[in-house]
Amino acid sequence: MIKKDLVIIGHGIGGSVLAQKALGRGLSVLVIDQNFELGSSWIAGGLLHPMVFKRLTLAWPGLEESMACLEYYQNLESAAWHPGPLVRRISTLDEAHRWEKSTMDPHLTTLLTILDEKVPKGISTSFGWGRVELGGWLDVPLFLTQNWQALEAKGLTLSYHLAAENLDSYSPILTIPKYEAIEYKHLVLATGISAPGWKVVPSLGEIPFYGVKGEILDLWLPELELETIVLGPLFLVPLEEQGMVRVGSTYEREYTDSQPSVTEAHKMLSQLGTFLPFLANWSKEELFARVRGHRAGIRPAARDRRPYLGPLGDNKAGAPPGTLVMNGLGARGCMVAPYAAELLLDFIQWGIPIPPELRCTPRRCSTVTSD
């Protein structure tokens, strides 16, 4: 029988970061996933910064935690991580006033800068530019692939579509055909809302996740000569291949499937035309012909915009012993994952309580409201 401290089901951004951090703490780990390329993390934009632009305030979990998150990616020395400031296109007079006010806030003055010069080139704006000094971009597919390969090389992965019959409700043991039985101390469910294996524990469906469909495009636009990440109303990310730009992302609460939608692609391309003047005389067909990639996925999100973390509550009767959850990271999953992983590992190793606002309690699961 194989014995592991931690069995992680799901190798999206949450499961991947958790596995790396657990190994760094000396825990024995096994990651189980099948076709993680089909999960929502595979289509994540991967933009990291500490701001909520709608209100121009610091995002949860806060500045200190955000800085620790960015430091985590920096210390990996991975080709997937691209640190640097992000430029925000200010689109309204009200937003311009918020930027002016926020740059005088002592908590934000080192984070936000209003730019005088007209940058970046080729992009129009009537109200100027702001810059977030702390941030970067994570190539999530490359990050996940590198991590999986590193784990696989150590024999710490299992490509398998886990189902309820593989679990024992009364003992911490996994039984998988043609594989040695696995005894674990903790089983972490990090599979996302649409990934295979989400319904491994049927009672987990009681956690009130909702799905948000997101889509991104890769375009060949050498005319733009983009050199920095641009935010608003879409994000624009210069890719390593010259002339290639990643564009996104949609935010669809109502959807019928997880497949890329031509309609949504045309909506994004139409939005580009509102702030890229050189596209003014292009036809829809000409611009659509520049699409080199189009991906879609369903993000797991919580209505209070906080992840679900830690043991399943008392209302989750029937879950196997030692079952934990790390899910619902939402659109800011890349930014939240390192912090959430630390909290979960602190709980596992030293019994430090998970913050109440993140727990899977009956109260939270029944009274969640959007902030």
Q: Tell me the DSSP string of 207-268.
A: S-EEEEEEEEEEEE-GGG---SEEESSSEEEE-SSTTEEEEE---BSS-S-SS--HHHHHHH
Look at residue 116 and give its three-state secondary structure.
coil
* Fold of the domain spanning 84-129+210-301: D-Amino Acid Oxidase; Chain A, domain 2 (3.30.9)
User: What distance in Å separates the CA atoms of residue 93 and residue 234, rounded to the nearest whole number?
Assistant: 18
- Taken in order 291, 124, 332, 64, is the CA torsion positive or negative? positive
Q: What is the pLDDT of residue 369?
A: 45
Answer for the pair 161, 197: CB distance below 8 angstroms, yes or no.
Answer: yes
What is the phi-psi region of residue 328: left when phi exceeds 0, alpha when psi lies from -120 to 50, beta otherwise?
Answer: left
Please give the average per-residue pLDDT across 335-363, as a whole number.
Answer: 93
Is CATH 3.90.1170.40 correct for 2-44+141-208+303-366? no
* Domains 2-44+141-208+303-366 and 84-129+210-301 are alike in CATH topology: no
Residue 349 — very low, low, confident or very high, per pLDDT cuts 50/70/90? very high
Percent of the chain with pLDDT over 90: 65
232-256 residue pLDDT tens:
899 999 999 999 999 998 888 888 8
Phi and psi at residue 72, in whole multiples of 5°?
-60, -50
Q: What is the pLDDT of residue 368?
A: 45
Amino acid at 265: A
Q: Is the pLDDT of residue 48 over 60?
A: yes
What is the phi-psi region of residue 35: left when phi exceeds 0, alpha when psi lies from -120 to 50, beta otherwise?
Answer: left
Q: What is the pLDDT of residue 69?
A: 95
Higher-pLDDT residue of 299 and 22 is 22
Residue ranges per structural domain of the chain = 2-44+141-208+303-366, 84-129+210-301
Tokens of 201: 């524990």
Q: What is the pLDDT of residue 370?
A: 45
Round the average pLDDT of the chain to a whole number and report it.
89
Q: What is the pLDDT of residue 209?
A: 74
95-119 residue pLDDT tens:
999 999 999 999 899 999 998 776 6
- Taken in order 241, 91, 250, 58, is the CA torsion positive or negative? positive
